[in-house]
Amino acid sequence: MRTFSVPERLGGFGALVALAATAWPAVTAGTWSLPCPLRTLTGIPCPACGLTTAAIAIVRGDLAGAFHANPLIFGLAAVTAATGPLVVLRAAGALKPPRPWSSPRRRQAGWIAGLLATASWLFQLHRLHTGPQL
């Protein structure tokens, strides 16, 4: 088996998240979700805050609820949805196998991820009323 590329790995992780988000409410019945260590200790949310809630909302089809909890979930959902066909097409030979990104492209992706995390953090600080009201 070939080594999967980073987007494919993220897509695989997204599929696991979707499975867990479908199964989780069935076993817990309540609204309990993973406690955030940073928020528990300091009261400050982190950029990933609300992702458990958002994942459960999105698999239920509650898109507004998912957006309200953490819009980043739509990015993960898009990567996850694209990964299945991508892996199949690559396995069938219809698409070329993935190639490692060049160093500048990696750096660019790092910057984009950093900016997204910052934007998400501002969103969470605003949502949970711990920062300046935007």
Partner 1 sequence: MTYPPSHSPYPTPGAYAPAVPSYASWIQRVGAYLVDALCVLPFSLLAAVLGQDTDLATGLVTYNAMFYVFTLIGVVVFGYNRWFQAGKTGQSWGRKALGLKLVGTGTGQPIGAGKAFLRDLAHVIDGIICYIGYLFPLWDAKRQTLADKIVNTVVTR
- For partner 1, the binding residues (CB under 8 A) are 2-6, 9-10, 12-13, 34, 36-38, 41, 46-49, 51, 96-100
**Considering the complex, what minimum distance in angstroms separates the CB of residue 62 from partner 1?**
21
Give whichever of 49 and 61 is closer to partner 1, judged by the CB atom.
49
Q: How far is CA 89 from CA 75, 82, 83, 84, 126, in A?
A: 21, 11, 10, 9, 41
Beta-carbon contacts of residue 58 (< 8 Å; ≥ 6 apart): 21, 66, 73, 74, 77
**Considering the complex, what minimum distance in angstroms separates the CB of residue 6 from partner 1?**
5
Give whichever of 99 and 129 is closer to partner 1, judged by the CB atom.
99
